[in-house]
Structure 1
Amino acid sequence: MRLARTYSAVLGCVVELNRIRTQNESLWADVTRLRDQREVDPLPQGAAQVSARERPAPRSPKRSNLKGDYSLIIGSSHKMLEIFQVLDRISNSNAPVLINGESGTGKELVANAVHHNSPRRGKVFVSENCGALTETLLESELFGYVKGAFTGANKDHKGLFELAIGGTLFLDEVGDMSPNMQKKLLRVLQEGVIRRVGGKDYIPVDVRIISATNKELLEEVKAGSFREDLYYRLNVINLRMPPLRDRRDDIPALVEYFLAQLEQETGTKKSIDPPALERLARYSWPGNIRELR
């Protein structure tokens, strides 16, 4: 009898994973169909990103056919316009999004763009860097805690999942989560409820999850350091942010924008000579936009 129950449980997990894989493949096939349009309707060139707290860049005519508002993302490069077209298709969805890319490529800014062009735009966008906190702190931040749960817990505290109800929760560096936290996050995604640290009550949470990583999570899955079932839950829609070295034509627009910001901050006119700009365009920028800025 025990063997039969175990077999039934394993079979149920396999069926669930196959369902998620099928859903992922269907959604991503629709998204990536945009790339096949290049031969018929080639995309123009030039783009990049800046902090969401800064003023919008002027809208490029090359982006006139886009539905969404991506004014906080500079330029109109071929690769970034491809990203924008994908964003146009996925923003109205509630499906989880996984953003891959090197550090400094603007993953959080793109996550913001997904949220602010979605039906959840009127609700809160909350973010957390999963690699910056210990497991215990991350659990408390995400799920909250009740009074008396630990020393210093003097009152009930809502976690980010509760704060983001109706909106979007952005989990940066999700690949750095511990195995235990991966398990707890998976349970939330499966059941749609959370339980505060030290609490007994389950709280329903309607939250869209956008996650990001600079790791290749599929390789982490193969290495046994990231859960396969969680990977397929997060990677329903995948976006891959290109590094700046693959978008060198974006650099002049970025430099112009950052110089304008510097001028605004200092009150002093800033400019760059063409030879210097050419040298910047030839550099490989391992730190991407963050290094250029």
Structure 2
Amino acid sequence: MPDFAFSQLDVFASAPLRGNPLAVVHDATGLDDATMARIANWTNLSETTFLLPPAAPRADYSLRIFTPARELPFAGHPTLGSCAAWLAAGGEPGGETVIQHCAAGLIPIRRDGTRLAFRAPPLVRSGPAGDEVRSVLPAALGLSDTDIEAVEWIDNGPGWCGVLLRDVATLKAIQPNYAGFAGHKFGLVAPAAAGAGYDFELRAFTGAYEDPVTGSLNASVAQWLIGAGIAPRDYIAAQGLELGRDGRVHITSDGPEVWVGGEVTPCIRGTLSL
């Protein structure tokens, strides 16, 4: 089997080791599903992606996205990181906007100076979460009703349930008890402290670990908060601070469309030999 160009990048970060890492295998034609899954399991990052020739009209490239355990139809930080890797390797989009093809369809990606931004996919489930979700919050996250402003389904594929907290101190103090999650994935958000330099802080709990900086969650949180009039149409979110990271997610909106952007920092370039 031939060698493959390989990149590892830090997404939603302007400096190395501060965001969410992503492994990218370039020109992955010839790798079968089982080999892709083994590579993703071996890198042991939250996601590993595989760049492929475009397999749909209008697409600039196709992408497959794997966690160590399964394939995903779409994910946010893999979209931005893979696009950055494709461009750095000499990829030339057919138009001003890069078009990624993945299992979720065609994903437009804009270039804005040093940042890339993807258009948020539509929610597949929305609206207030019921008592069956709220009832797990005390055991799972140590939250009481007095800590919470709202609990909403904000699922754009991964299954996110959003929890808006009254203050950022409560957000920072959370120590998750994953045994109490009952299969849920929670995205927590709170208004930032005055003078923080950003507008909201987020934390993402998958039910097994805390994710450093999460594109899909920030996309769905933005659609929720902007749609409800809680957030302005453009804002900056921070995520990963409690994990020693310093991720920044730039939200912009054009009419009904929400765009999720951030910087991508290359960290490793090399060759994958199989």
Q: Which has the higher strand share?
A: 2
Class of the TM-score when normalised by the shorter of the 2 chains: under 0.3
Q: Which has the larger radius of gyration?
A: 1
TM-score, with length taken from structure 1? 0.26
Q: Which has the higher helix share?
A: 1
